């Protein structure tokens, strides 16, 4: 049943689904090879602008490569890096946060000090430093972003576990002989799923922007792989002469982040019990 309060989830989910289809089916949807260089077609305007010639709907770049094809293939990197980073950072942060909140004492103190160290560095600056140390590469990019984003999960899960471990159902599970790790995995962590889901959706939008920023600076994946950030970096030189080189990749980033934020906001409205009570 259609409900107005689900509108943000429907719209955000639809945008994310379209991008996912573009990423998975890129070889079939892209009209050209994203690496194919045709120098005689360089800097051609978009076809719909009325000035372009040929089937390049969004124009071509300074090497004659099709912009639309590169944007479609670029969605692969953005979604892959975003989803993988969110999953790995979520697993690491939830595990450490659960251990800190449930066992407390020395475990909590050690993990809390580690999170404070990571919080002392701005997120993007830490990612830039890690990429400069690790070098270019998709795996290194995911590792750098993961090590920069796990702290948020850790702090939220720790706070929730501190509250949940004193609840009656957890105390009863321990009284019935349940071991600590069994109680933690079976009764405590599942009750943090709603908060973690909301954090993950917003974190994915942040990670996609961070990936584009690192690619823009030349610290992301190798330059021969089309990404939205690298397209912005290459197009900034021709911003006045050929503005479509930066407009379309920037719009792709905007739409992606907008859709993910809509989805996260809708999930928060549904999963947050305080907001449900207001409704």
pLDDT digits (tens, 9 = 90+) for 40-77: 888 888 876 555 445 778 888 888 899 999 999 999 99
Q: How much helix, strand and coil, in percent to the nearest 5, is found in the chain?
A: 75, 0, 25
Overall average pLDDT of the 211-226 stretch = 86
Q: Is the pLDDT of residue 92 over 90?
A: yes
129's CB contacts (< 8 A; 6+ apart) are 121
Going by the DSSP 8-state scheme, the letter that residue 60 receives in this structure is B
**pTM given for the model:** 0.87
pLDDT digits (tens, 9 = 90+) for 230-277: 899 888 888 888 898 999 999 999 999 999 998 888 888 777 655 555
Buried b (16+ CB within 10 A) or exposed e, 38-62: eeebeebbbbeeeebeeebebbbbb
Q: Does domain 4-31+66-278 have CATH number 1.10.10.10?
A: no
pLDDT bracket for residue 2 (50, 70, 90): very low
Overall average pLDDT of the 140-156 stretch = 90
Angle between helices 244-271 and 228-235 (to 10 degrees): 150
Largest CA distance in the chain: 77
From the list 231, 214, 225, 213, the residue with the least C-alpha distance to 61 is 231
- Cα(67)–Cα(16) distance, integer angstroms: 21
Q: Is the pLDDT of residue 138 over 90?
A: no
pLDDT at 274: 53
- Cα(218)–Cα(229) distance, integer angstroms: 9
Tokens describing residue 74:
């670029």
- Cα(70)–Cα(196) distance, integer angstroms: 33
Q: Which position has the token pair 């077609």?
A: 41
Residue that wins the pLDDT comparison between 72 and 193? 72
pLDDT at 256: 93
From the list 263, 249, 255, 262, the residue with the least C-alpha distance to 19 is 255
Residue spans per domain, the chain:
4-31+66-278
User: CA 226, 129, 115 angle in degrees (round to 5)?
Assistant: 115
For the residues of 122-166, what is the DSSP string, one character each? -HHHHHHHHHHHH-SSHHHHHHHHHHHHHHHHHHHHHHHHHHHTT
pLDDT at 272: 63
- Cα(36)–Cα(16) distance, integer angstroms: 28
Q: Are 102 and 184 in contact (CB under 8 A)?
A: yes
């Amino acid at each position: 049943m259609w409900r107005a309060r689900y509108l943000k989830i429907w719209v955000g989910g639809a945008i994310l689904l379209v991008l996912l289809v573009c990423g998975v089916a890129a070889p079939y949807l892209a009209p050209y090879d994203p690496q194919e260089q045709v120098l005689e077609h360089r800097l051609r305007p978009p076809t719909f602008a009325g000035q372009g010639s040929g089937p390049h709907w969004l124009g071509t770049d300074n090497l004659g490569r099709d912009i639309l094809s590169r944007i479609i293939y670029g969605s692969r990197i953005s979604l892959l890096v975003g989803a993988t980073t969110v999953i790995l950072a979520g697993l690491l942060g939830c595990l450490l946060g659960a251990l800190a909140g449930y066992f407390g004492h020395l475990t909590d103190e050690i993990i809390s000090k580690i999170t404070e160290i990571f919080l002392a560095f701005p997120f993007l600056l830490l990612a830039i430093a890690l990429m400069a140390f690790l070098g270019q590469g998709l795996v290194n990019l995911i590792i750098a972003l993961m090590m920069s984003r796990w702290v948020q999960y850790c702090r939220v899960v720790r706070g929730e576990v501190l509250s949940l471990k004193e609840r009656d159902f957890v105390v009863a599970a321990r009284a019935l002989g349940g071991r600590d790790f069994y109680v933690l995995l079976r009764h405590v962590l599942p009750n943090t799923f709603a908060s973690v889901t909301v954090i993950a959706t917003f974190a994915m939008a942040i990670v996609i922007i961070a990936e584009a920023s690192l690619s823009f600076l030349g610290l992301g994946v190798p330059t021969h792989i089309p990404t939205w950030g690298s397209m912005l970096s290459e197009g900034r030189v021709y911003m006045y002469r050929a503005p479509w080189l930066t407009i379309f990749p920037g719009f792709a980033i905007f739409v992606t982040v907008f859709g993910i934020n809509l989805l996260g906001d809708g999930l928060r409205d549904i999963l947050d019990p305080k907001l449900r009570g207001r409704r």
